[in-house]
């Protein structure tokens, strides 16, 4: 009888009941809401960029220093803006003292420039990534993709925004003044030890649910405050957390308009009262503060009930913008033109002979189609220019969420749980990451264009809950 490497676990519920929800509390020294000012990452533009991945330290908690990683600084990175059609070049120097990789999440670029786990940068080495920008304006990002170490390296602070602009965004009357009415919000949650260091994987469930914390950072500051002009304000929101799903809303219950999904502007603004973002997802929203002079708002997460950001509308705007009713046309792939479909089943398993109750989820593995990530195995071969339907199934029970991400392209969501009507208003655009609740099935449509791959540099698909990715919920595909 053939021995299986993994036991599929469908009844993980018992474990949940035994272990409870472990989100250990950081304790004192956590600054109050609004105690610090929202940091705005410096904006880099042009064609050639130098990024240094380095160690640093930050005072997140009052009077305590936290050892961190950062890019050209102590924590997070400069924000980079490039233009559709431009040839750009990045020199990425690894000054960390451990191997890393730097992935351009959301970029439609050749796989050997993608910065996946095959493009490892050894300590002291510089990796050059050069590519042509060939995509719509949107808010993409970059972060490490080191096999088995991605979660920890991102947690330490390595992440930044990579924005694309194009003729469409030039022509639209959108808020565009960086740090004034065009404001990045990189959302992260962290847990600390009493000495101030990050408590990465310190709880029993961290490897299973993914690493969540009880302290909320925006752009690397604990629940800070931002001063805003009394006008339309655009926020580029990145869920840069390892595992937490946010449902964002404003304290006065106001609605706002979403103008972009992960990779591009929507065809028209979508009015929302709350916005759900899973790890890796982005959205751009416009909040109308025109008649709010003197008001104070709070951006909060309705799932954890945490306050993330205090907003004071106290500045006279230098100029007014008026969000257009339409933003432009997107090109949609027709499901009837799909030439094949593939299935990706996301599940949890455990190694035979190792108890899941031992250690911090020690034996847990996360699987796609029953197997754990293997750098030496190509899981899928996708012909160039074929339209395909990918069906993603979250087979996990008991509240296990996954956030499915595909490299090298964008997709759109055709169905959620068997029906197009279940696709949420806030996800009807170009996407590269999609949330699957427990038991959910999502169909996406995609076409790999422009670039074939060599077997030495495949693209990745994976769960963007980074502890799931690091524990095997990832696969590789080539384009031929
Ligand atoms: Cu943002 Cu493969 O990751
Ligand atoms: Cu990616
Ligand atoms: Cu997952």
Q: What is the pTM of this model?
A: 0.94
Residue 357: its pLDDT value, please?
45
Residue 455: its pLDDT value, please?
77
**What's the 138 CA to ligand 2 centre distance in angstroms?**
14
**What's the 143 CA to ligand 2 centre distance in angstroms?**
9
Residue 153: enclosing H or E segment and its boundaries? Answer: helix 150-155
Residue 27: its pLDDT value, please?
64
- DSSP code, position 250: E
What φ, ψ does residue 181 adopt, rounded to 5°? Answer: -125, 5
Ligand 1 atom index nearest CA of 407: 2
User: CA distances (Å), 339 to each of 277, 344, 447, in order?
Assistant: 31, 17, 10
Alpha-carbon distance of 189 to 463, in angstroms, equals 18
Is 4 in a helix, a strand, or coil? coil
Q: What digits encode the pLDDT tens for the residues 406-462?
A: 999 999 999 999 999 999 988 999 999 999 999 999 999 999 999 999 879 999 999
Per the CB < 8 A criterion, the answer to whether 468 and 370 are in contact is no
Residue 454: its pLDDT value, please?
85
Residue 399: its pLDDT value, please?
75
Looking at the CA of 437, name the nearest ligand.
3
Ligand 1-lining residues (CB < 6 angstroms)? 103, 105, 143, 145, 280, 405, 407, 460, 462, 464
Exposure class string for 218-233: b at 16+ Cβ within 10 A, else e? bbbbbbbbbebbbbbb
**What's the 407 CA to ligand 3 centre distance in angstroms?**
16
Q: What digits encode the pLDDT tens for the residues 162-186?
A: 999 999 999 999 999 999 999 999 9
- Residue/partner pairs of 270-273 with CB below 8 Å, 24 or more apart: 270/425, 270/426, 270/428, 272/425, 272/426, 273/249
Q: What digits encode the pLDDT tens for the residues 32-69?
A: 999 999 999 999 999 999 999 999 999 999 999 999 99
Ligand 1 atom index nearest CA of 143: 1
Percentages of the chain per state (helix, strand, coil), in multiples of 5: 10, 40, 50
Residue 109: its pLDDT value, please?
98
Question: Residue of the nearest CA to atom 1 in ligand 1?
Answer: 105
Looking at the CA of 211, name the nearest ligand.
3
Ligand 1 atom index nearest CA of 145: 2
Looking at the CA of 281, name the nearest ligand.
1
374 token code pair? 């293997």
Residue 2: its pLDDT value, please?
35
Residue 25: its pLDDT value, please?
55
**What's the 387 CA to ligand 2 centre distance in angstroms?**
20
Residue 350: its pLDDT value, please?
74
* Look-up of token digits 């929203």: 285
Residue 26: its pLDDT value, please?
64
Residues in the chain, pLDDT under 50: 1-23, 354-360
């Amino acid at each position: 009888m053939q021995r299986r490497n993994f036991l599929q676990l469908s009844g993980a519920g018992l474990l949940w009941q035994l272990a409870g929800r472990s989100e250990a509390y950081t304790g004192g020294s956590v600054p109050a809401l609004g105690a610090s000012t929202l940091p705005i990452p410096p904006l880099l533009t042009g064609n050639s960029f130098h990024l240094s991945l380095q160690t640093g330290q930050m005072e997140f908690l009052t009077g305590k220093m936290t050892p961190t990683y950062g890019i050209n600084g102590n924590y997070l990175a400069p924000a980079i803006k490039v233009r559709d059609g431009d040839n750009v070049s990045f020199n990425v120097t690894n000054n960390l003292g451990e191997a890393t990789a730097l992935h351009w999440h959301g970029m439609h670029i050749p796989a050997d420039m993608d910065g996946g786990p095959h493009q490892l940068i050894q300590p002291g080495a510089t990796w050059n990534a050069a590519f042509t920008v060939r995509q719509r304006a949107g808010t993409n990002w970059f972060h490490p993709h080191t096999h088995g170490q991605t979660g920890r390296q991102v947690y330490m602070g390595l992440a930044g925004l990579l924005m694309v602009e194009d003729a469409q965004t030039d022509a639209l009357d959108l808020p565009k003044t960086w740090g004034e009415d065009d404001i990045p919000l990189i959302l992260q949650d962290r847990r600390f030890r009493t000495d101030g260091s990050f408590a990465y994987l310190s709880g029993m469930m961290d490897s299973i649910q993914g690493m969540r914390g009880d302290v909320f950072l925006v752009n690397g500051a604990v629940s800070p405050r931002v001063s805003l002009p009394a006008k339309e304000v655009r926020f580029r929101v990145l869920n840069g957390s390892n595992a937490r799903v946010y449902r964002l809303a404003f304290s006065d219950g106001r609605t706002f308009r979403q103008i972009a999904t992960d990779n591009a502007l929507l065809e028209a603004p979508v009015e929302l009262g709350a916005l759900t973002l899973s790890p890796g997802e982005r959205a751009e929203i416009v909040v109308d503060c025109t008649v709010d002079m003197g008001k104070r708002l709070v951006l909060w997460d309705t799932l954890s009930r945490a306050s993330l950001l205090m907003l004071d509308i106290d500045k006279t705007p230098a100029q007014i913008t008026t969000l257009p009713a339409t933003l432009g046309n997107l090109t949609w792939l027709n499901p009837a033109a799909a030439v094949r479909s593939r299935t990706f089943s996301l599940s949890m398993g455990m190694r035979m002979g190792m108890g899941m109750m031992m250690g911090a989820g020690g034996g847990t593995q996360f699987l796609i189609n029953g197997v754990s990530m293997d750098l030496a195995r190509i899981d899928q071969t996708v012909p160039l220019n074929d339209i395909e339907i990918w069906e993603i199934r979250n087979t996990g029970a008991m509240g296990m969420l996954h956030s499915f991400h595909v490299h090298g392209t964008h997709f759109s969501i055709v169905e959620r749980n068997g029906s197009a009507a279940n696709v949420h208003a806030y996800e009807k655009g170009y996407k590269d990451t999609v949330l699957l609740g427990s038991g959910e099935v999502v169909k996406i449509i995609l076409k790999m264009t422009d670039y074939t791959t060599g077997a030495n540099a495949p693209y990745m698909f994976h769960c963007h809950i980074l502890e799931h990715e690091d524990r095997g919920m990832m696969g590789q595909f080539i384009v031929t």
